[in-house]
Each structure stands twice: as C-alpha cells, then as structure tokens.
Amino acid sequence: MPDTDQYRLPRTVTPVRYDIALSPDLARASFTGEVRIEVEIHEPVDEIVLNALELELAEADLDGTAAAGITLDESTERATISFAEPVQPGHRHLRIAFTGTLNDKLRGFYRSTFTDDDGNERVIATTQFESTDARRAFPCWDEPDLKAVFGVTLVVEDGLLAVSNSPVVEERDLGDGRREVRFGDTMKMSTYLVAFVVGPLEATEPIDVDGVPLRVICTPGKTHMADFALEIGAHSLRYFAKYFGIRYPGEKLDFVGLPDFAMGAMENLGAVTFRENLLVIDPERATRNELENVADVVAHEVAHMWFGDLVTMKWWNGIWLNEAFATFMELLCVDDFRPEWDRWVTFGLTRGAAMVIDAMESTRPVEFEVHAPEEAEGMFDVLTYQKGGGVLRMLEQYLGSEPFRSGIVRYIDKHQYGNTETTDLWDAIEAATGEPARSTMDTWIFQGGYPIVSVEPGGEAGEIRLSQRRFRYVESSDDSLWQVPILWRAGIGGEVASGRVLLSEREAMVTLPGKPDWVVVNAGGWGVYRVRYAPELLRALTTDISHLDKLERFNLVSDTWASVLAGTTAPAEYVELVRLFRNESDPAVWGAIASSFSILRRTIPVAERPAFERFVRDLLRPQVERLGWEPKAGESELDAELRGSLLVALGWHGADAEVVAKAQQVHEQYLADPTSVEPNVAEAVATLVARHGGESEFQAYLDRWRNPTTPQEMVRYLYRLADFPNEGLARRVLDLAITEVRSQNGPFVIFFVLMSSEHNALAWDFIEEHWDDIHARFTEPLIPRMLEAVAWVTDADLAARIRSFLTAHPLRSGQQTIEQAMERMDVHVAFARREAAQLASAFDA
C-alpha cells in the first residue's frame, strides 16, 4: 500500500454538498453543530471515512438509518462511521451531530478577543482552515480536490454580527436571545476556503463594485479607517475580472479584520480574513510602506478568488503555484493601482531576500513532492511567494505580457470549478504562445537555487560571452543548469539596441549589432539570477550609471554585495561602487544599500566604527539635504518614504548626533499631536528615539502600544520596544512577548530583539530558557519566523551555541527555514572572521 493512502481519504464515497449548522457559545468557548452531507456512494461500503479532529461526534445516520458505530482516530485525523448493513451505491444523505471547542491556537474554529471602550473583554469566534483545519470545525472530506457546495447556518446571540462565504438569505428570531442566520449556497469549492465569523463586529455600508457588494468588517469604532481597503478592494475586483476575462466568482465580498490571526490574511471565498493592521488604515497617518502592505494583501487575496478559489490545486504540492501566482497578480494590480509607487522596483527588495536564502545549501526547489499535508507548511515561505512570483514575472517579461495573459485566461477558463497540477498552467501558456514555457520553468521550479551569469567580451567586436553556474556564498561544485531567459540592452555608437536570448547551455556567444560602449545583461532587472561583469564591462557600465534603470541599479548593488559576502569581491570595491549612488533617489536601491550597512556595522570592530559612520554620513548627506525634514509641496510618495528611511540610516548607521537630537524633538511633537508630523518621518523618529532611548521613552512606547490610535501605531510601538539599548529594558520586552503581547505578535517581538547586535545573546538565552513556554503560547508556523533572526548573528561563539541547541531541538515543521537561517548566520560569521580586522580601511576615502 503506498504510504500516501494515509493522507488521502478513500474515494468510495465523495461529498456533493454540505449543510452545516453551528451554534457557537462565545462565553463558554464551545460550539455544537450538525452537518448534513449529500454524498455520492460509488461502490458498496460498510463504512464511511472522513476527516474530523478535536470534535466529539455524538450521532450519525445515513438517510435516517443510524450508524452502528462511530470511531475517531486522532493520529490520522479521521472519523469512521460504520453501518450494520452494506450501503449500496447512489445518492445519499449523511447526518452527523457533533460538539467542539473554540480553541486559542488560531486554527480551526477559534477565539479571538479584544477589550472594548468600556474595558470589557469581548470574544469573536472565527475560522482559519488552510491547510487542513476545516476538520476541526465540522466533519468533512478535507482535501482540496473534493470540492462541494456549502450551505452554512449559524445560530448567534442577538447583537452579534455573523459572516460567512455567501450573503445572508434568511434570518429568524429564535425568541431566546438568539437568531438563526442562514447563508446562501457557495459555488463548488474546497473545504479549506469555508469561513464563518461571529462577534461584536461592525460593518461598513456595502459599496457596489459592478454588482458585487463590498464591505469591511472590524471591531467597533474603526470603520472610519476602512476607505483605503475598500478603494484597493474595488480596484482589484475590477482589475482581475478584466485580466482573467471572468466575473468575480462569489456573490459578495467581505474583508474581515481580526485582532488575532496567525497569517497575514486568508482567501476564504467572499469572506477574506485579515490581521487588523493589514486592512484597517488611516492614509493620513500611515507610511507609504504601510499603505503598500495593505494594498498588497488586499490585491493578493482578491486575486485568489480566481486563482486558488475558482481554480484550485489538486494537492498541497500546488500551494507554491497558488501563492506565487497570487503574489505576481498582486504586484501587477498594485502597480496599476498606484503607478507612482513603482511596485515592481520595491519588489526587488523582497525578491532579493528570497535570493539570499535560495543561495544556501539548504534551499529547496519551489515545488516538491508532498505526502503529508504538513509537509507543505514549509511552502509558505519567501521561496514560494517571492522567488515563485519572481520567476513568473521573469517568464511574463520574456514572453511579453499580453501573450502571457492569454495563456492565463485559457488556464482559468478551462479549469474553473476544478483542480489542477502546475503543468496545466505551463501547457496553457505554451498553447497560447508557442514558447517552451514548461521546459524553461521546470528548471526554475524543480531545482533549488539560481545561476549567476558571467558576462565577458567575446572574441570578435560586438560579441559577448554569457556563461552560467549556480550562485553560492560558499565554494562548492554544482553542475545545475537553468534555461535562463535573458534580456539585454547595449549602447552602440550612441544608439541603444536590445534583444533576448534563452541561455540553456553552460555558455553561449551573443552577437550584438556592433561593438558596445556598454551592455546591460538582465535588462529591466526581471531575471531571478545574478550577473557578474568582466572588469572592463563593469567599468564601462559604471562610468555613467544613468544608463541603468531603477531595478537594474538595485540589482547591481544587490549582486555586488552578494559577491562580497561570497568572498569574490573585496569590501573596498563594493564601497567604491556604493559611492556612485550619492545622487540616488530610489528608496528600493537605498534599501539594498542599507541592508548591507547593517551587516557592515555589526562586523566592524566598535573602536573602528567611526570610519564607517563618517562614510555613511558623507554618502547620505546630499539626499538628506535635498529632502529636508519637512514634506515639500507636490513631492512624490517615494520621496516622502525615502526621507524617512534615510533619516534612520543617517541617525543609526551614520551615528549623526544632530539627526538623533532632532528626532527626539520631533517625536515629542508627534506624541503631543500625531497629525503634526508627516507619517514617514513619524515612523523614522520612533525608530531613532527607541535606539537611543531610556526608561521614560520606554514608558511612552508602552503607553502608545497599549493605547494606539491606529492599528499601525500599535504594531510600530510594540515592535520598536525591541530596539532600546538598555539590557534591563530588553529583558522586560522579552517577558512581555510571552505574557501580555498577543500571541500573533509575540514571535515578531522576540525576532527583533534577537536580530539586534546589542541583545542577540540575551534573546538567545531567553529562547533556550523559555523554549517550552514559547511552544505552548505561539502558533507553530510563527516559531520558525521568530528564529529566522539568528541569520544576523556574526559572533562565532553565539552561533555555535545556537546551532547546537536548534539541532538538538528540531521543530515539527519549518525546520528547513531554521537550517537556512543558520546557514546565513554561518555566511555572516565567515564574513566577519575574514574581513573584520581590515574592514575599516575599506571606508577610507
């Protein structure tokens, strides 16, 4: 028997439709329920097997005939309902009555709480089912390809709002302080997309988006901060209906913001759930980046309504395509929503983070075989979202966006209401474009890593030689090959020429129309690979970097820094390159530079830090002087963002005392009147004040976190508590993280303390000491996220302790993320060992 049977239900009986009736008791944290499932019995059976977990099944019958027995197997998460007489094939109705608990682990049917304006604790009952937690709320065939129609009925106390996937079709007063709320039938869909939320919540009036009523639902008193989510929500609905050429598959759309939520958001059809701070936002008070986060998440979830909900993966190995595609679509849509944000350029930063991890020995292919559903839990990482989204963009740009779109339209149209494998998408794109999408993408999806493409002058004038090898930070032999879609651009005798080539062998010669004055490989910057130019080509290119567009400049910085960490470029050469960026005005390019600064600052011995700090000040001053502290009339949103991030870099990496003093003054002003400070500056000064703050500032931060005026402010002041330099305060923050802080945020608080070069050893002691408390309190997927901060450790002794502890205490899921973080830590430790002693000299002008 193949071992996959353990995870796949027998197909002798399959569901057609579920009628689910649930009565949650919020005060007692429990629920009772009954499900009637219309099933198709395909062959005679004497038992019916389906999924159930942490439920008590009280009774069951089939077309009125009581079951002879009901057994639950916790290890397989299954219920077996047996019958005295064999059941004959046909259409039948299985009824099961059950009870369950509203848990506190943010999965299945769970409790979320908040304190209302009168200081009372209020409870919300809500759901999170992906990947396999629908079985914790009702017995079901909990596999993505066993799609069915769902009819949900909720019995709720008066005064509570009830939401599910479809609109309410009937409400009945039960006369005992409760109402029965019946929702319309859903389309045929997977169990993991079912949702219900009950609680003392408020909804905005629905807005009509081409016939789709759209609302935001949140805890009371916040609906005035719903407009931005509604705006991007409406934009996304229209954008995707047009892109896919198919109307929105639900009947209404609600965005529900929750105080406790494990993930960022969840694409339940028609009832998308969110972390509150990723939905509810005041544009007058938010940074550009916070607005971008909300726009991204909303667009991403709306894209899933088609790609994921209407067309769904057959099994959990397909998670990557589901998520990578939604990420790609989110970027397309947000770029259309706010073209001035240059969303594809800012994507460089997150894609860059994936490329760092993907250069590790412990990386993984984007797609891999999955037996147990929990094996796919490791797929919810940057390799899926960012690398996956990046390779889709690379393919789209190589094929052209219209031919690519016609392949997608073909795919959605052919598979709607059904389930697919990854290859179905490539086949549709091939059919639409006539290009070898499948063989090209297989090299990016089924093998880990990515190449570095070397560019050298060819033998003849006008030729360049391209070659590929796997990029690694550590020397190793590897003969992987990719089919690398390469776009190039060259300056030839005052004219600009461009072209494309698919590099599928180890090397290839490309003939340009003439001898180039300069040449850019990975033109546009869409390739998920690095480029290394021969010295004379690099010199020609950097003589005037205005030949490069933003993402190309970003890549030049990012690729060069990667080769510094790999030991193939000297830090001094990198510093020389960075000096060329004094007039840079793009925040993403500066983001790449700033992230290298945080490693350089940790590595350089404290006594020699002034050389580095001087270099940073010289580099940043021209831009900071251009921008000033006050917003200028009519300035771009990117300039506003850049002002904030450069002030932080100047105050922190540059140790600029004047900037720090001014930040303290501006922060006082912010606390007195939050509307008096431009939001990006407000965030910057909150960061700088924390990094130089003491007890009284700490109290002010605690107070802002506990009594925030916006969800973003709550998160900002909570996470910045981790930045205070005093060790006693850092201890208090760590204690708060496992006590008062919501369990959805605690892991990130610990992450930030662990990431700091000042308190990482302290944070590590705390983690070892409270390992069991941490596991008891935090939902499992957030623990590897917390531990990822070890990647920034540069101290060899601490690194050794971390490695030995994490090797002795492996996680049940997410261990690969831990391995990757430890390998990054090793890269940083090796860099420090190799370079620390002479690093200061790199900054001498």
Q: Which is nearer to Zn ion, 197 or 326 (CB)?
A: 326
Q: Which of 497, 645, 658 is nearest to 584 (CA)?
A: 645
Shortest approach of Zn ion to residue 295 CB, angstroms?
15
Among 46-54, 170-178, 322-330, 432-440, the segment contacting Zn ion (CB under 5 A):
322-330
DSSP 384: I
CA distance 574 to 518: 20
The residue from 301, 377, 584, 641 that is catalytic is: 301
Shortest approach of Zn ion to residue 321 CB, angstroms?
11
What are the backbone dihedrals phi and psi of residue 607, each rounded to the nearest 5 degrees, phi first?
-65, -25
Element (H, E) at 266: strand 265-266
Q: Which of helix, strand or coil describes residue 274?
A: strand
Tokens of 529: 């690979």
What are the backbone dihedrals phi and psi of residue 569, each rounded to the nearest 5 degrees, phi first?
-130, 140
Q: Which is nearer to Zn ion, 263 or 842 (CB)?
A: 263
Shortest approach of Zn ion to residue 817 CB, angstroms?
18
Q: Which is nearer to Zn ion, 204 or 268 (CB)?
A: 268
Q: Which is nearer to Zn ion, 108 or 308 (CB)?
A: 308
Among 325-333, 487-495, 565-573, 766-774, the segment contacting Zn ion (CB under 5 A):
325-333
Residue nearest to Zn ion (CB): 326
Binding string to Zn ion for residues 241 to 270, with x set by CB under 5 A, is what?
A: ------------------------------
Q: Which of 278, 284, 287 is nearest to 711 (CA)?
A: 278
Among 321-329, 333-341, 521-529, 550-558, the segment contacting Zn ion (CB under 5 A):
321-329
Q: Which is nearer to Zn ion, 311 or 666 (CB)?
A: 311
- Site membership for Zn ion, residue 297 (CB under 5 A): no
Shortest approach of Zn ion to residue 306 CB, angstroms?
12
Q: Which of helix, strand or coil describes residue 101?
A: strand
What is the DSSP track for 288-337? HHHHHHHHHHHHHHHHHHHBTTTBEESSGGGHHHHHHHHHHHHHHHHHHH
Shortest approach of Zn ion to residue 192 CB, angstroms?
12
Who contacts 740 (Cβ-Cβ below 8 Å, separation ≥6)? none
DSSP 613: H
CA distance 516 to 691: 49
CA distance 302 to 309: 10
Q: Which is nearer to Zn ion, 323 or 656 (CB)?
A: 323
Shortest approach of Zn ion to residue 239 CB, angstroms?
17
Vertex 341 angle, CA 340 and 346, to 5°: 145
Q: Which is nearer to Zn ion, 299 or 681 (CB)?
A: 299
Exposed, middle or buried, 218 (CB in 10 Å: 0-12/13-18/19+)? buried
Among 65-73, 211-219, 319-327, 787-795, the segment contacting Zn ion (CB under 5 A):
319-327
The amino acid sitting at 213 is P
Q: Which is nearer to Zn ion, 274 or 705 (CB)?
A: 274
Shortest approach of Zn ion to residue 323 CB, angstroms?
5
Give the 3-state secondary structure of 11-50. Answer: CCEEEEEEEEEEEEECCCCEEEEEEEEEEEECCCEEEEEE
Q: Which is nearer to Zn ion, 157 or 301 (CB)?
A: 301
Shortest approach of Zn ion to residue 330 CB, angstroms?
8
Residue with tokens 């540059």, as numbered in its chain? 654
Give the 3-state secondary structure of 468-497. Answer: EEECCCCCCCCCCCCCEEEEEEEEECCEEE
Shortest approach of Zn ion to residue 326 CB, angstroms?
4
Q: Which is nearer to Zn ion, 299 or 659 (CB)?
A: 299
Who contacts 707 (Cβ-Cβ below 8 Å, separation ≥6)? none
Shortest approach of Zn ion to residue 719 CB, angstroms?
23
Q: Judging by DSSP bridges, how do beta strands 13-25 and 149-157 pair with one another?
A: parallel
Tokens of 233: 């929500």
CA distance 187 to 551: 41
Tokens of 205: 């009036």
Shortest approach of Zn ion to residue 753 CB, angstroms?
29
Asked whether the beta carbons of 605 and 833 are under 8 A apart, the reply is no
Q: Which of 780, 791, 808, 826 is nearest to 380 (CA)?
A: 780
Q: Which of 419, 457, 461, 425 is nearest to 442 (CA)?
A: 425
Q: Which is nearer to Zn ion, 324 or 600 (CB)?
A: 324
CA distance 787 to 810: 12
Give per-residue burial for 292-309: e unless 16+ CB within 10 Å, then b: bbbbbbbbbbbbbbbbbb
Among 14-22, 324-332, 394-402, 787-795, the segment contacting Zn ion (CB under 5 A):
324-332
Size of the site for Zn ion (CB under 5 A): 2
Q: Catalytic residue at 276?
A: no
Binding string to Zn ion for residues 425 to 464, with x set by CB under 5 A, is what?
A: ----------------------------------------
CA distance 323 to 303: 10
Q: Which is nearer to Zn ion, 130 or 142 (CB)?
A: 130
Among 318-326, 659-667, 778-786, 790-798, the segment contacting Zn ion (CB under 5 A):
318-326
Shortest approach of Zn ion to residue 801 CB, angstroms?
36
Residue of 326, 453, 715, 733 that binds Zn ion (CB under 5 A): 326
CA distance 20 to 151: 6
Cα 516 to chain centroid distance, Å, stands at 41
Asked whether the beta carbons of 729 and 698 are under 8 A apart, the reply is yes
Q: Which is nearer to Zn ion, 286 or 326 (CB)?
A: 326
Exposed, middle or buried, 361 (CB in 10 Å: 0-12/13-18/19+)? middle
DSSP 448: -
Shortest approach of Zn ion to residue 263 CB, angstroms?
9
Among all residues, which ones are annotated catalytic?
Answer: 301
- Under the rule (CB under 5 A), what is the footprint of Zn ion? 323, 326
